[in-house]
């Protein structure tokens, strides 16, 4: 069965990111990760020192916009997202924008952020061309994503729960957002457009002693529920039961994370 279309503009703007609820649920799971990685802090460490414009493309609920504005008031940070709804909580200046057609002039930005969002782009080459277009000579691109083997334990949990619900040995796949722009493939893709592509790997382990943070994370993919081939809510309930059993047996449930940040410069 064909996997869900995680690049559909209608789904992204009107459902998955119509507000911040689903994104916040996915972000919150990292509160149980050790070591904790301060991604906005890492971004701040790699921003240009000179005054300039920073475009946060696919800014979501403004996690990076807010932090950069607070700590680098010398920079003009513009949040951009395909969803008008999720931008309501982000202070101006913001713009509703498609990554493949940025409403910005050539060579206008000292830095462009694309944090955990390039896997949602329908035409990745068009989006990367746009980022290259708006970036000043010597400007910085900071992107982030996850590796293909990120959170494998969630894949196993969802697949087992779905197999139970369907009464089959076949384990349907969990929705993977990052597969279209994984940490494994991203460096080579970025080198087509940018120079000095470096990867900062950010591994960690999430440890939970109750099911709900994990279930909230899995539930945040509801926008694609019709495409996963299993009864979504029933599978969530079965995953919750399985988690209870695993935590009672082992004392905790561990999820191994492998994400990273990619640092690039304009050619």
- pLDDT tier for residue 4 given thresholds of 50, 70 and 90: low
> Position of tokens 């940025």?
102
pLDDT score recorded for residue 229: 79
pLDDT score recorded for residue 133: 98
pLDDT score recorded for residue 2: 45
Q: Could you report the per-residue pLDDT of 6-29, keeping only the tens digit for each? A: 898 889 999 999 999 999 999 999
- Sign for the CA dihedral angle at 175, 9, 184, 201 comes to negative
- pLDDT tier for residue 173 given thresholds of 50, 70 and 90: confident
Average per-residue pLDDT for the chain: 94
pLDDT score recorded for residue 3: 54
Q: What proportion of the chain, given as a percentage, has pLDDT over 70?
A: 99
DSSP-derived secondary structure letter, 14: I
Is the CATH code 3.40.190.150 the one for domain 9-266?
no
Q: Could you report the per-residue pLDDT of 29-62, keeping only the tens digit for each? A: 999 999 999 999 999 999 998 899 999 999 999 9
- Sign for the CA dihedral angle at 71, 75, 80, 84 comes to positive
Q: Could you report the per-residue pLDDT of 205-237, keeping only the tens digit for each? A: 999 999 999 999 999 999 988 777 789 999 999
**Domain ranges (residues) in the chain:** 9-266
Say which residue, 174 or 54, is predicted with more confidence: 54
Say which residue, 253 or 267, is predicted with more confidence: 253
Which phi and psi angles does 233 have, rounded to 5°? -70, -40
């Amino acid at each position: 069965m064909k996997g869900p279309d995680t690049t559909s503009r209608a789904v992204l703007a009107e459902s998955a990111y119509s507000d911040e609820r689903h994104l916040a649920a996915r972000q919150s799971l990292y509160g149980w990760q050790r070591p904790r990685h301060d991604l906005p802090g890492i971004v701040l460490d790699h921003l240009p020192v000179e005054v300039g414009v920073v475009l946060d493309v696919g800014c979501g609920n403004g996690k990076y916009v807010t932090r950069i504005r607070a700590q680098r008031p010398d920079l003009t940070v513009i949040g951009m997202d395909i969803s008008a709804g999720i931008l309501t909580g982000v202070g101006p200046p913001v713009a509703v924008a498609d990554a493949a057609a940025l409403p910005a002039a050539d060579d206008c930005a000292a830095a462009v952020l694309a944090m955990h969002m390039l896997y949602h782009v329908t035409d990745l080459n068009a989006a990367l061309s746009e980022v290259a277009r708006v970036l000043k000579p010597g400007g910085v691109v900071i992107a982030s994503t996850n590796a293909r083997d990120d959170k494998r334990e969630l894949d196993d949990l969802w697949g087992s729960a779905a197999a139970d619900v369907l009464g089959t040995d076949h384990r349907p796949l969990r929705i993977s957002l990052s597969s279209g722009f994984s940490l494994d493939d991203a460096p080579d893709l970025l080198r087509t457009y940018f120079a000095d592509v470096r990867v900062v790997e950010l591994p960690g382990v999430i440890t939970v002693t109750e099911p709900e943070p994990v279930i909230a994370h899995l539930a945040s993919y509801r926008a694609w529920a019709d495409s996963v081939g299993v009864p979504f809510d029933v599978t969530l309930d079965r995953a919750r039961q399985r988690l209870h059993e695993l935590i009672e047996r082992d004392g905790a449930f561990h999820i191994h994370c492998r994400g990273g940040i990619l640092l690039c410069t304009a050619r």
